A and B are shown apart, each in its own frame.
Chain A
Amino acid sequence: MTKAGTGTGITVAQADTPAPVARLPRRRGIELALILMAVLLSVFGYCNVGLAQHDALPPGAAGYGAGLGVLALLAHLAVRLRAPYADPLLLPIGVLLNGLGLVLIYRLDLETPGDRAAPTQLVWSTLGVALFIVVVLLLRDHRVLQRYAYVCVAAALALLTVPIFFPAVNGARIWIRIEGFSIQPGEFAKVLLAVFFAAYLAANRSALAYAGRRVWRLQLPTGRVLGPILAVWLVSVGVLVLERDLGTSLLFFGLFVVLLYVATGRTGWIAVGLLLASLGAVAVGWLEPHVHSRVEDWLHPFASIEAGHGPNQLAQSLFAFAAGGVTGTGLGLGHSVLIGFAVKSDFILATAGEELGFLGLSAVFLLYGLLVERGYRAGLGARDPFGRLLAVGLSSIVALQVFVIAGGVTGLIPLTGMAMPFLAQGGSSVVTNWAIVALLIRVSHAARSQAGGRAEP
């Protein structure tokens, strides 16, 4: 078993101060129990759908349970082998959300016989767990990633740019389609950019915080330090605006601001960030017709009904959530399929809201909240600034993404097409989220195996 920070031969940005090693308990048994519960809960949901729709157990229940169980156990084994001190909640939450997502997609497949998405999603989930295992097994120390910061940013920008050369799908140019397979490179770019931001800010945070001129109460960093990161951020957001992927550009913006704040501790950055974001949002919302209509829909979700065109997707989504009420209609008994296209992807939460009700939906939100909280905890426990920023960044990606998409489909904020982590149909998304959990596991293991150490006060 390799301890974090030993045997890797990496020189990190700052030396670890020797600290008393006080390891936290491993708690792998708890993780195993939770994983089994998560698998059982998913199988139960799967059976529930079958019983509700056909009064019979679905034929694939055993296979589905076995598949999910084997994947979860393999992932657990990898964690046991190479990250035994990792937080025991991270993996079970991933399994449960992924399992629930598969149940919801299977459930919606029953209403759309011509378009079965669950089998594909299961394949992608397998790939995601495989990537999880690879990362947990092969990436012995997350600090290795710091060396590849510039490779990451280059790859991220490349991935973001590629879809420009492919045809737009439903108004957004964010897909690569090859032979029926479609991937969304922006999803992978999220993780790569988080790595880059974390590495860059970890290396330059002092310069960002204290150097440069002072304008009124704001301490400006030198352009030499701020320049590259600002450029990367501007390019990525610019590209996304070109591709009309507003959800992801909002996500990158939020990620950037959060990490900048965490790294420098300057509240002024938040103010500037929010100001810029507001200006940008107003400008885009006003000028870009695609976005403008989204804003109009958000302000007047029932306008199309009053105009005699019938309910739009957002109105249908709101109807679905309302139909769920407090306790929900029960799995398999709702009609969220009325939402039409994107019901399995962007709007998957509406199915959860209708069939599980406010209670079920709150439970799902709490699962995400727990995942984010555990990620932040890993960040707090990490001893190196890179690890801290990486964990915070990845957790924030999950938090922001959940907020943007869930807020969109429930009418809290204008709708932006994004995938609900783990729940929504979408291969790139599932794989990316498993990668995020794998990295959090790594940072968490590093943090908890040497809990007494602190990178800084």
Chain B
Amino acid sequence: MTRNIRHAAVFCALLLVALVVNAARVQIVQKPEYDDNPANRRPDIARYQQPRGDILVGGGAVTGSRDTGEHLRFERTYADGPMYAPITGFASQAYGTTLLEHAEDGLLSGADPMLAPLPLWNDVTGAHNPGGDVVTTIHGAAQRAAFEGLGGRKGAVAAIEPATGRVLALVSTPSYDPQLLSGNSAAATRTWKRLNADPDKPMLNRAVSRTYPPGSTFKVVTAAAALEAGVIRDLDAPTRSPDPYTLPGTRTKLTNEADGCRNASLREAFEWSCNTVFAKLGVDVGVRGMTAMAEAFGFNDDGLRVPFPVARSTFDTSVDRAQLGLSSIGQYNTRATPLQMATVAAAVAGGGQVRSPYLVERTLRAGGSLVAAAGSRPSREVMRPSTAALLKELMTGVVDKGTGAKAAIPGATVGGKTGTAQHGVGNSGTPYAWFISWARGAGDIEPKVAVAVVVEGTASDRQGVSGGGLAAPIARAVMEAVLGG
């Protein structure tokens, strides 16, 4: 019997060994596979276990965290959610993250290894860092001015500090409140469905993710190209341009909104936005020259990140002369994001130098110590300083005595360009009203702000849509906000 008991004991020992070996299989060998299973909710729970770091505008947080006491414990809250939505995006437990919440997610959620006090520290201790903060370049008052200026209209505003590339305002309307998407409740699901079904696309970031035909505001680029190429040497010399202008190789006659464009000088043509003059200038410069200038301003670049990606603004390089003429007045396949057009204004304001726009000034650990600062961005020369000086002259003329009078700010130097872009088949769509501008305060050495505003017209105000009428006052409010502090 003793022998049998020993055999049975060995059997029990084997069972035990099997258990330990199997535990090692599950807990060590297959751990990575099980941990990464998408149905495993532990990463989500860990992620929401602590409050998320904040996104700061002008020293104050525009985000917050709410302790729900649930499994996914902390939910994101937003102050002025709709106004800052084109910057923050949303951080939703159900639908992930977008924009800054997405681009800086590692830092905000605390997962970024840069947050650890020492390299590999967290791997050893298993600790989880509190989320860090993101300090933005946004100018709160300018943002508010842009948001309130757009009001109930569809449109977008982008404002840049020309000397640095700091993005001062980024607004898109109609907007949405990202807080409604924060949790994973049924209400969040309903909001998500409603927002996605909304024909006005409130979650579309019109300032960076959508391209519009820039219309006449593109004439700044064409003028720069003509000046750089030597096609124009004197702003006041008459151009040999007919009115109407027959696009080369076609019978299509291009006309103007304004009178007196025949042989108008560049200054007059710019102030009155003569399509005929600029279409001909573009054709005279040629595809190569126009393309080079457009790309120097930032067109055809699909790598721009601020740090979230910005849609590619396009200038078609495979065009015939007629198409080039249309392209040169911001039609045909020429398309630009409002941020791109703000960069165009900034390049002029900056004396031909431009720096890539950016939104994140610096990132901080929870205690306030610096993780990373934006640092100085390299500037690139878009055009000669002399060309920029001439363009500044042209743009101030537009505000002083041209189509952009509504952007004038007493005591400040303001330059601008209006635009009204047609679109749709046979121009059947409601037009877009554009205004791009920059402003220099009385005491400033150089312009402090460059703005682009686009307002999508509605069917009812079809006739009244113009850059000078609709968009210029919004740009002025934004510029005033920046100049005022």
Q: Which residue of A lies closest to B36 (CB)?
A: A322
Which stretch in B19-27, B172-180, B304-312, B321-329 binds the other chain?
B19-27
Given contacts A318-B26, A373-B9, contact A311 B19 (CB under 8 A): no
Given contacts A261-B7, A305-B37, A388-B5, contact A403 B26 (CB under 8 A): no
> Of B8, B24, B37, B42, which is within 8 A of A376 by CB?
B8
CB–CB A262/B12 < 8 A: no
> Of A335, A358, A361, A373, which is within 8 A of B42 by CB?
A335
Among B20, B23, B27, B71, find the residue whose CB has the most chain A CB atoms closer than 10 A: B27
> Of B4, B6, B16, B30, which is within 8 A of A365 by CB?
B16
CB–CB B4/A261 < 8 A: yes
Given contacts A319-B37, A399-B16, contact A457 B26 (CB under 8 A): no
Q: How far is the CA of A242 from the CA of B27 in the complex (A)?
A: 36
Query: Any chain A CB within 8 A of the CB of B18?
Result: yes
Query: Any chain A CB within 8 A of the CB of B68?
Result: no
Q: What are 30 A-B pairs with beta-carbon distances under 8 A?
A: A261-B7, A262-B4, A262-B5, A302-B39, A310-B39, A311-B39, A318-B34, A322-B31, A323-B31, A323-B34, A324-B27, A325-B28, A326-B28, A330-B126, A335-B42, A338-B41, A358-B23, A362-B23, A365-B16, A365-B20, A366-B16, A369-B12, A376-B8, A379-B5, A392-B8, A399-B16, A410-B22, A410-B26, A412-B19, A412-B22
CB–CB B1/A263 < 8 A: yes
Query: Any chain B CB within 8 A of the CB of A368?
Result: yes
Q: Which residue of B lies closest to A377 (CB)?
A: B9
Query: Any chain A CB within 8 A of the CB of B40?
Result: yes
Count of B residues near A, CB < 8 Å? 37
CB–CB A321/B26 < 8 A: yes
Q: How far is the CA of A396 from the CA of B5 in the complex (A)?
A: 11
CB–CB A376/B1 < 8 A: no
CB–CB B19/A395 < 8 A: no
CB–CB B31/A325 < 8 A: yes
> Of B13, B27, B39, which is within 8 A of A325 by CB?
B27
CB–CB B27/A305 < 8 A: no
Interface string of A366-386 (1 = CB under 8 A from B): 101100110010011000010
Count of A residues near B, CB < 8 Å? 53
Interface string of A247-278 (1 = CB under 8 A from B): 00000000000100111010000000000000
Question: B residues bordering A, Cβ < 8 Å?
Answer: 1-9, 11-13, 15-16, 18-20, 22-24, 26-28, 30-31, 33-35, 37-42, 45, 71, 126
CB–CB A412/B4 < 8 A: no
Interface string of A208-227 (1 = CB under 8 A from B): 00000000000000000000
Query: Any chain B CB within 8 A of the CB of A441?
Result: no
Minimum Cβ distance to chain B for residue A89 (Å): 15
CB–CB B23/A353 < 8 A: yes
Given contacts A365-B23, A380-B2, contact A322 B13 (CB under 8 A): no
> Of B13, B27, B38, B40, which is within 8 A of A353 by CB?
B27
Q: How far is the CA of A314 from the CA of B42 in the complex (A)?
A: 16
Minimum Cβ distance to chain A for residue B293 (Å): 53
Give the residues in chain B near A318, CB-CB below 8 Å. 26, 30, 34
Give the residues in chain B near A456, CB-CB below 8 Å. 1-2
